[in-house]
Structures are given as structure tokens and as C-alpha cells.
Amino acid sequence: MWTSWWLWALVATCAGQTFREQAETIMRAMPVIDGHNDLPWQLLTKFNNQLQEKRANLSTLAGTHTNIPKLRAGFVGGQFWSAYVPCDTQDKDAVKRTLEQIDVIHRMCQAYPETFMCVTSSEGIEQAFREGKVASLVGVEGGHSIDSSLGVLRALYQLGMRYLTLTHSCNTPWADNWLVDTGHDEAESQGLSEFGKKVVREMNRLGIMIDLAHTSVATMRAALELSSAPVIFSHSSAYQLCPHKRNVPNDVLQLVKDTGSLVMVNFYTDYVSCSSQAKLTEVADHLDHIRKVAGAQAVGFGGDYDGVSRLPAGLEDVSKYPDLVAELLQRGWTEEEVKGALAKNLLRVFKAVEKVSNLTATPEEEPIALNKLKGSCRTQYGYSAAPSLSHSPGALLASLAPLLLGLHLM
């Protein structure tokens, strides 16, 4: 009996090695494009974005999920780096802070040209693959980063932003976030407001991918129904397996399938197992579930490395992607399905977004209504001269009330 158990263990070990070797062979030809990595946030909080500081050397960087040797070991060929700033910057310095995070991503490419290639197109990703570099793209995490401005949206596009997460964990004046579904936040836009729909249409026109991670289910549905191009969830998992409101429910997965969209699975344990501990195999369960409901073309990887505090055993850092791919192969995923999850599905969506874009079309111009904006430091230039953008009668009456009361008392 002992001999039988030993032989079974030996066979299992050999099989695991075979799947791992097969994973590496596939990934040499088709490296992973990950949808979301928060290394830029770590560079801000640890070094105030000073890349020349000795401890900030990305070849030796310690205490993070990501550095250059780990990226190489993980066969990472494309990365959407998150230009993230917290919700407490909303109505304050969100735009400035976002510009600084985009800047540090650009400086990463400048400082390590042998490793990173900043690109802004699907063709650029494929060129980076051919050169053996990590295609580096900007994803802006949170609609508050545009400060409810179509002009800022367009400017960030010019600076390389190729996806915008419509909300982070807070409402914007034009879109609702996932905390609405928990009851923590109140719905303000019932998904997308009229201005929110303008944002989506302008993103389509420019060729910016719409990212629905962090949004409420109503926002997910509204964007999926409105967008003329496929959308992404850059770092979300399956609600059916872990009923956390950050995850994607089955009815939305059906819309993902119908629209040719993409869910890039998050590795954060709280979204994988709904607890503080998880295993690599449970992440594979989420990938399996999305493949089953939405199709193999709807699956990708969005590890959320360096943006989370807990990760599954076996997926401790960005070097571990081959182990997850080996698990998928062991479960019977075909080589083509694996290549889709690694990169082809994202490239398909990106190309569809690029095809829909039309930079010669007339831009959306009408600003958000002034009474939708908050922040005591705001100026009001332009609004008083534009009749269609003036205060509503109720807001106007409220603003005149002190004056009218003063006249009465006189």
C-alpha cells in the first residue's frame, strides 16, 4: 500500500512538471497581458515617485509583488499599470495626482528601456512582444480622476490612457460604484447619468476601453448596453463563486458574452474565496466559471498585484502566472483557450475598441451641469455665459434666498 501511494505521488509530481513545462512553452510564444497592477501606487507611497532613489531600483525592488526579475519569471509581456489615486482626492487634487501617476509610468519606460516599452495600441503590444519587452499601458482607475470633465478625459487620452475605470469605491457625479449594491452608498445616477452616457460615448469615439471593475451592477448594465465597443472588467471575479459585490454576477456575464466583452480575474483573496485565505486552484475555479457562462473568449487575468494585501497561496507575486496556466492545462483547457486568456482575448477587445474609434467625429462638448459638482475651491468660468448650463430654477432660487431675505429685513 505504501508503494502504491509513493508511485501515485511520483506520477502526480511528474504530471505537474509536465503541465508547468507546457505552460512555459506556451507563454514564451504568448506572454500574459495583465489588466491591473498597482506598482505605480507603491512607487508613490514608498518613494514619492523618485525612481532614482537606490531602494526604488526596479531590478532589486523588495517588499512588493512586482519587480523586473519577477515579471520575467512570470512571462509578463503586457501590463496595464494603474494610474490610481484614492477617492479622497475627488473634488480636490485628483487630476494633478493622476497626472503624476501617469508621469511615473512614462518614467519607468524611460528608466528601463531594455524592459519596458510604453505603448498605446494593440499594434504596440504586439511589437513589444516581438522585441521581448513588457508592453506598458496606462489604465486610470476611477472616474473621479477626470473631475467630471470631457476635456480632461481627452487630455488623458493624449497622455496614453487606454482604459478608464468608471468609478473606484465612490460615486462620481455621473456614475454609481459597487458600494451602492451593499447599501453603504446611495445610488445617485441609477447607473449612468446623462453626463455619464456622454463619457461612455466619448470614450468610444476616442478609443479608450471602458472598465467596469468597481462599478455598481446598474452601471455595469448601462455601460454594456450603451457602449458601441466591447468593455472590460480589468480586475474582477465571479459573483457566483464568491458573492462579493465587487464581483460580476451571472446575468452580467451573459451581457459580457453577448457584447464580446472581457472579465480579467482578480486574485485578491477577499474576491476569490470571500475570506482572508484562498488557493491558486480557487482562482482557476473563477476562470472556469467565467469560461462556462460567458465563453473562453471572455476570460483574462487581472491580478491586482501591489494593490491588495492578501493573495492566494501559490500566487504570491507576478512570477507565479505559469503555475496558474499549468493548473488550467491540467483541467483540460486547450492551448488556444489558454492563449486567449493570456493575451488574445484582450487584444481582440482592444482592436474592436480601436476599430469603433473615430477621432475625426465631433467630440462631446456639453459640460456637466454646475449644480452636479462639489468642492468649495471651484471656479465657475464659462458656466454663467452658457444659458443651457445655468443653475436649475431651484438652485437659482436657493442662491438668491439670502439676498431676498436681506432686502425684506431692510
Catalytic residue, candidates 144, 176, 202, 214: 214
How many helices (H) and strands (E) the chain has is answered by 15, 9
Q: Do β-strands 116-118 and 161-165 pair in parallel, antiparallel, or remain unpaired?
A: unpaired
Determine the Cα–Cα distance for residues 324 and 224; give it in Å rounded to an integer. Answer: 29
Sign of CA dihedral 143, 146, 149, 152: negative
Choosing from 65, 144, 168, 286, which is the catalytic residue?
168
Give the active site residue among 181, 270, 288, 304. 304
Say whether 38 is catalytic. yes
65, 144, 235, 286: which one is catalytic?
235
| Positions of E strands within 107-234 | 116-118, 134-141, 161-165, 209-211, 232-233
Q: Which of 34, 38, 270, 288 is catalytic?
A: 38
3-state secondary structure of 140: strand
Q: CA distances (Å), 302 to each of 81, 83, 134, 337, 382, in order?
A: 11, 15, 16, 17, 41
Return the axis-axis angle of helices 150-158 and 194-206, rounded to nearest 10°: 20
- Is residue 288 annotated as part of the catalytic site, yes or no? no
36 is known as an active-site residue: yes
Instruction: Locate 110 and state its grid cell.
Output: 524611460
- The strand pairing partners of 348, in sequence order, are none
Beta bridge partners of 263: 233, 299
304 is catalytic: yes
Helix (H) or strand (E) holding 36, with range, is strand 32-37
Mark whether 184 is an active-site residue.
no
Q: Does 235 qualify as catalytic in the annotation?
A: yes
Catalytic pick among 34, 141, 181, 202: 141
Enzyme catalytic residues: 36, 38, 141, 168, 214, 235, 304
